[in-house]
Amino acid sequence: MENIIELKKYYSSKEFLENYIYEGNDLGVECNENGTTFKLWSPGAKSVVLNFYEAGDGCKAYEQIPMEKEDKGVWSFHSHKELHKVYYDYLIKRDSKEVLTADPYAKASGVNGIRSMAVNLKKTDPKGWENDKAPQKDKERVVYELHVKEFSFAKSGGFPPEYRKKYKAFTCKHTTLNNDGIHPTGLDYLKELGVTHIQIMPMYDYGSVDETKDYEFNWGYDPVNYNVPEGSYATDAFHGEVRITEMKEMIQSIHEAGFGVIMDVVYNHTYSLDSWFQRTLPWYFYRVFSDGKVSDGSACGNDVASERAMCSKYILESVLYWAREYHIDGFRFDLMGLLDTDLMNNIRKELDIIYGKGEKIIYGEPWSATDTAIEYNKKLANKYNIALLDENIGVFCDNTRDAIKGSALRIREAGFVNGGKDKEDDILASISAWCDPKYNKEFKGVKAPSQIVTYVSAHDNQTLWDKLDYTVTEEEAMRLNKLAAAIYMTCQGTLFFLSGEEFCRTKAGHDNTYNMPISVNMLDWRLAYKNKDLVDYYKGLIALRKQISGLCDKSENSYKHITDMWKQKQVVGFSVNSDKDSLWSQVKVIYNASKKDFEVKSLDGDFEVLCDGNDSMLWKKNISAKAPIKVGKQSVLILGKKRIEEI
């Protein structure tokens, strides 16, 4: 205990900060046709030996090379050979003890990540990779969250058996339901749905699945090698280059299909405290309370110390690496509330410099499980410090989520749509993404809708359908699913939803299915056509939203597009004013969560019906709206004022 406390003090000392903060960006391995260089940061080590292996597991080292000690705690070795696909690890001697470790800076590894691999990354590029890029921007960003294995596991998806659960499933063209040739699945289905970005749950190398066992399942929030793709998603987990190429092929295919790719990253903790971080420099990369107790704000056994210089540098360089090498278009930060605001703003700044302001998407969970032992008076990137974050760093808005459907943590607690009381004010605040000071009493400091991710379901907690199943009758559930979708899709902010939400995805009521069988977690593609009416409703809402510029605007004063806000018990209404690029100069929206029809008695202008509780494609049918007009029970009504052509 005392040793941990002393180390904590030492890492903050003037001596350590002056002598061991390395500013180079070349840690890890650089391998090309001119040679291979290995660099490891391990201050205080007495010696470091580099071991070479012919395979990623088993077998003894065929060569052991003492590394040279350089300045700032760096150890290095250079070979004139191109050591592509050579496996390696390090034997570190410190305080008369020896420890064997993989390379925390590795970009490739063998099976289960236990040994690192040198890799010439150019040799992992699929054909045409140099021309790969994200598709052109759509009118709006709509994010669809999925998991590599869940996406293609079900036989009904029509994916080739050898590619099911793999990166390669995303490269399969024109898959259909049970190979019927009629009903699209996979990327074709998502294209028809209208989403613009695919957020993929953890796909770096994680520790909770044995890569030698194809049947194991986990969400993957257990980082082992931050800069290495997960091997269980590859067709070959034993040869480290395969997973790299196949992940690139997946991203290339997703881009070609017209979607951006957002990577779910987990920099707040590691799979185990016995990590490569800990083995290369004990306790530097982890938070510890002043009494020596290990910080566990992640509820996963440890918290990464993002506020320390070399840890912050590691995370920043890792994000930049994924963006550069894998052409990742955005990052979703798990438990972002455990990272510090300076780090997050620096990541935003560097991505903006390289790719253009706001081009790469950044958002995260603005919370943690419990308190964390952050140092140096740094501020956490949680919802209460949102005013300290760049306007292009978004947060998942649990206020909106819970206002619409009820608490995600208390399953039988209802929200606005399913009978909850006194939710109207929160719905009004949600409409402007909590930016309108007249209605925002709960979520202070929001700068613009660009900071708000508007959603009602994600991989955590019950699916929307399961939540409704707990709180309403089966007969009401479908109506209320449509109403919930209509509400969040007519709020400002960035739209996000869980894969399958649009076809009544269920996990049999389970809350946290992170390690449950894939049969519970898989996407059942049959539901997409069994519940086609709901899928079509989502399609219409997404397409309609893209036509309403006042909702898509993410700028600071965009809440001013929202006018005429009003409420009564279980009913909320407002208007959206849009620019000349929209089909309608004004859109009126009414949410009726009551069990009775609501009547709109008058309309101030020439309106048409765009959407009601049954059909979200009415805006394509030129149906005039005449007052009085009814809003059906537990449903929405959206009206558009026809734009008068300028002469």
Report d(CA 507, CA 463) in Å as an integer: 7
Report d(CA 297, CA 367) in Å as an integer: 10
3-class SS of residue 445: coil
Report d(CA 204, CA 266) in Å as an integer: 9
Position 585 in a domain: yes
Pairing of strands 330-333, 260-265: parallel
Count how many domains the chain has: 1
Q: Order of strands, edge to edge, in the sheet holding 35-41?
A: 28-32, 35-41, 74-79, 68-69
pLDDT at residue number 2? 56
Within 10 angstroms of residue 447's Cβ, the number of other Cβ atoms is: 17
Position 615 in a domain: yes
Query: Do residues 396 and 363 lie in contact, with contact meaning Cβ atoms separated by under 8 Å?
Result: yes
Task: Give the pTM.
Answer: 0.97
Report d(CA 587, CA 552) in Å as an integer: 13
What DSSP state is assigned to residue 401?
H
Percent of the chain as helix, strand, coil, to the nearest 5: 30, 20, 45
140 tagged catalytic: no
Residue 511 structure tokens: 């809350």
Helix and strand numbers (H, E) in the chain are 16, 27
Q: Scan for tokens 């399958």, then name that residue.
A: 500
Within 10 angstroms of residue 271's Cβ, the number of other Cβ atoms is: 21
Range of the domain at 635: 561-642
Selecting among 365, 424, 469, 553, the annotated active-site residue is 365
DSSP of 323-349 = HHHS---EEEETTGGGSBHHHHHHHHH
Share of the chain above pLDDT 90, in %: 94
Q: CA 14 from chain center: how many Å?
A: 38
Q: What is the largest CA-CA distance in the chain?
A: 86
Report d(CA 94, CA 256) in Å as an integer: 50
3-class SS of residue 99: strand
- Name residues of the chain where pLDDT drops below 50: 1, 646-647
pLDDT at residue number 646? 46
CA distances from 131 to 126, 173, 361 (A): 11, 20, 21
Q: Scan for tokens 């849009």, then name that residue.
A: 578
Position 630 in a domain: yes
Pairing of strands 562-568, 452-454: unpaired
Position 456 in a domain: no
Phi-psi region at 500: left, alpha or beta (left = phi > 0; alpha = psi -120 to 50): left
Residue 11 structure tokens: 């890492």
CATH of the domain at 612: 2.60.40.1180
Selecting among 205, 230, 296, 334, the annotated active-site residue is 334
DSSP of 128-152 = TGGG--PPPP-SS-EEEEE-HHHHH
pLDDT at residue number 645? 60
pLDDT at residue number 280? 98
365 tagged catalytic: yes
Position 618 in a domain: yes
Residue 59 CB contacts under 8 Å (≥ 6 apart), including other chains: 53
Residue 226 structure tokens: 């931050």
pLDDT at residue number 581? 78
